[in-house]
Amino acid sequence: MGNSNSSPSTADVTAANPDDAGAGSGRCPSIGGLDDSLVAPMSTTEIHIQPTADACQSTPSKQLQATDFDLEVESAMASTTTFPDTGPEPSGRSRRVEDYYVLESTRLGRGHYATVYRGRSRRTNQPVAIKKIRRALTDETRLKSEVAALRKIQEHPNIVSLLDVFETAGDVYVVMELCTGGELFERLAEKGPYSEMDCVRHVRCMAEAVAFMHANDIVHRDLKPENILLSTPDDTLACIKIADFGLAKITTATSMKTKCGTWGYSAPEMISGSGCTFGYDAKVDSWSLGTILYILLCGFHPFDPNGTRSDNDMIAAIKKCHFDYADEAWVGISIQAKDLIKHLLVLDPNERYSIADVLAHPWITGREGVDIPVQPLSPTIHTDLARFQKTTRAKMYDEVDENEA
C-alpha cells in the first residue's frame, strides 16, 4: 500500500485557513445549534458560485461548453455518464485561466503532480482554489474520472463545487469552490464540547450528499474526515461539503473490483482482496460513514481505540470487524446511535445498511420517539477528537489506488 503523497486531494484543493474570508454555498448549517428545519431535504437547483444573503440557497450557473479535454472525458465515460446542461463557466483550450482568474501566490497544497493555489474570479472577486496539474506526471484517466464525477453531481449543496476547467498542452487547471471553514473535525475540536444532536446534523448532511452521488451512479470510495469540509468559518452559515473525488467511480455496474481508498476507512471487502475477486458495491461508502460516525461520537477510531495499533493489527481488526462500545465515552450515547453504527460496520456487505437505510433510520429522522441528547457528549469530547486528529496525522493511513479492474 503506497503512501498518499502523490498529489493534493480535493480536500487539499478546497480547504483553506478558517480565518480566510469567503462565503460558501449550499445548505445544512453544521456547527451552530440551528433549527432542524434548516436541514430539510435537498434542493436540486444548480449551485450559484457567488455568496448570497442565504448561504443555503442556490441559483443556476452558466452553460457548460465542451473543450478537447471535456470531449476526452465524455468519451472515456460515455458508457456511464452524461453531462448536465448547466454547469461551470464555459471552458476551452482557446481560453486562458489567467484571463478569468487571478492566481495568487498563496499555495494551499502541493503533491507529486499538482500544486494548489488560492485564486479569485476576475468577474466576481469570488475566492477559489485552483489546482494546477502537470499532464506529464499524472494519470489522465483518474483526472478525467474526477472531473466527470464532479460535473455530474455539482448541483448538490453538500458537495464541493467544480467551477471551471482550463487546459494547455502541458497542464490542466481545475478551479474549485474554496471551503474556508476547513475540516469538520478540526473545527469541532477548536470549538469545544459538542452534542449527539450536533452529530445527527453532520451525519445527515453527509448521508444526503452520498445518497445523491449514489442516485447518480457515483461511488466515492474515499470518505474520511479529511474529506469532510465546511463551507465557511461562520458557525451559523457553515455547510458540510464532501470533497476529493479522485477515487470516485461512475458506474452502473452492480460491482467494482479496484482495490482503492484509505484503508483506515475502507470496507473489509476493499482491503482483504475478496473485492478484487468477487467485487464490491456502493455499500463501501456506508462502511466509511459508519467509521466517521463512530469517531465523531467518541473521539477515537473503532479499530484502533488507543491509537497504538500497528498497521497490520489495525487492518486485521477491520477485516474481522472487531469493535465495541466498552469505553466509558459510550455511557451517555443513545441506543439508536449505537444501533446505526452496528448496521454500518457490518462485515457482510449484503447485511450492511445502504445510504438509503441510513436516511430512514430513527436516529437520523427523529421518528419513533427517539430522544437525542442535546447536552455535550462529554466535557472532553473536543480534546479527544483533537488527539485523534493528531494521531491520524502522525500515522497517515495509507491510500491505495490501483488500476481499475
* CATH number for the domain that contains residue 106: 3.30.200.20
Last residue of a domain, one of 120, 149, 177: 177
Last residue of a domain, one of 177, 203, 218: 177
Residue 361 belongs to a domain with what CATH number?
Answer: 1.10.510.10
96 plus 204 within the same structural domain: no
Instruction: Identify whether 288 is part of a domain.
Output: yes
172 plus 230 within the same structural domain: no
329 plus 254 within the same structural domain: yes
131 in a labelled binding site: no
Q: How far apart are CA 155 and CA 172, in angstroms?
A: 22
Based on the number of CB atoms within 10 Å of its own CB, is 125 exposed (0-12), middle (13-18) or buried (19 or more)? exposed
Q: How far apart are CA 352 and CA 384, in angstroms?
A: 28
The predicted pLDDT at position 47 comes to: 28
148 plus 227 within the same structural domain: no
Say if CB 230 and CB 184 are below 8 A apart: yes
Q: Residue type at 96?
A: R
Instruction: Identify whether 392 is part of a domain.
Output: yes
211 plus 165 within the same structural domain: no
The predicted pLDDT at position 289 comes to: 98
Instruction: Identify whether 41 is part of a domain.
Output: no
Give the distance from CA 34 to its chain's centroid: 22
Q: How far apart are CA 154 and CA 203, in angstroms?
A: 20
167 plus 196 within the same structural domain: no
Give the distance from CA 33 to its chain's centroid: 22
CB atoms within 10 A of CB 76: 16
The predicted pLDDT at position 212 comes to: 97
372 plus 248 within the same structural domain: yes
198 plus 285 within the same structural domain: yes
The predicted pLDDT at position 73 comes to: 47
pLDDT tens-place string over residues 298-348: 999 999 998 888 888 988 999 999 999 999 999 999 999 999 999 999 999
Instruction: Identify whether 37 is part of a domain.
Output: no
222 catalytic per annotation? yes
Say if CB 190 and CB 276 are below 8 A apart: no
Q: Which of 12, 70, 164, 222 is catalytic?
A: 222
3-class SS string, the chain:
CCCCCCCCCHHHHHECCCCCCCCCCCCCECCCCCCHHHHCCCCCCCCCCCCCCCCCCCCCCCECCCCHHHHHHHHHCCCCCCCCCECCCCCCCCCCHHHHEEEEEEEEEECCCEEEEEEEECCCCCEEEEEEEEHHHCCHHHHHHHHHHHHHCCCCCCECCEEEEEECCCEEEEEEECECCCEHHHHHHHHCCCEHHHHHHHHHHHHHHHHHHHHCCEECCCCCHHHEEECCCCCCCCEEEECCCCCCEECCCCCECCCEEEHHHCCHHHHCCHHHHHCECCHHHHHHHHHHHHHHHHCCECCECCCCCCHHHHHHHHHHCCCCCCCHHHCCCCHHHHHHHHHHCCCCCCCCCCHHHHHHCHHHHCCCCCCCCCCECCCCHHHHHHHHHHHHHHHCCCEEECCCC
Based on the number of CB atoms within 10 Å of its own CB, is 105 exposed (0-12), middle (13-18) or buried (19 or more)? exposed
Instruction: Identify whether 40 is part of a domain.
Output: no
Instruction: Identify whether 4 is part of a domain.
Output: no
Give the distance from CA 77 to its chain's centroid: 22
193 plus 66 within the same structural domain: no
Tens digits of pLDDT across the chain (405 residues): 444 444 555 455 466 654 443 434 444 554 544 333 323 333 322 222 233 333 344 333 333 344 544 544 444 333 333 223 334 445 544 789 999 999 998 887 776 677 889 999 999 999 999 989 888 887 778 788 888 888 889 889 999 999 999 988 889 999 999 999 989 999 999 999 999 999 999 999 999 999 999 999 999 999 999 999 999 999 889 999 999 888 888 887 767 777 777 889 999 998 876 555 577 899 999 999 999 999 999 999 999 998 888 888 988 999 999 999 999 999 999 999 999 999 999 999 999 999 999 999 999 998 867 889 999 999 999 999 999 988 876 555 555 555 454
312 plus 261 within the same structural domain: yes
Range of the domain at 18: 10-32+59-177
305 plus 193 within the same structural domain: yes
Q: Residue type at 71?
A: L
Contacts for 356 with CB less than 8 Å, ≥ 6 apart: 211
Last residue of a domain, one of 126, 157, 177: 177
Q: How far apart are CA 380 and CA 82, in angstroms?
A: 47
CA distances from 61 to 56, 106, 154, 208 (A): 15, 27, 10, 22
pTM of the model: 0.77
Q: What is the rounded end-to-end Cα distance, in angstroms, of the chain?
A: 17
156 plus 200 within the same structural domain: no
Instruction: Identify whether 1 is part of a domain.
Output: no
φ/ψ of 227, rounded to 5, equals -100, 10
Q: How many domains does the chain have?
A: 2
Instruction: Identify whether 202 is part of a domain.
Output: yes
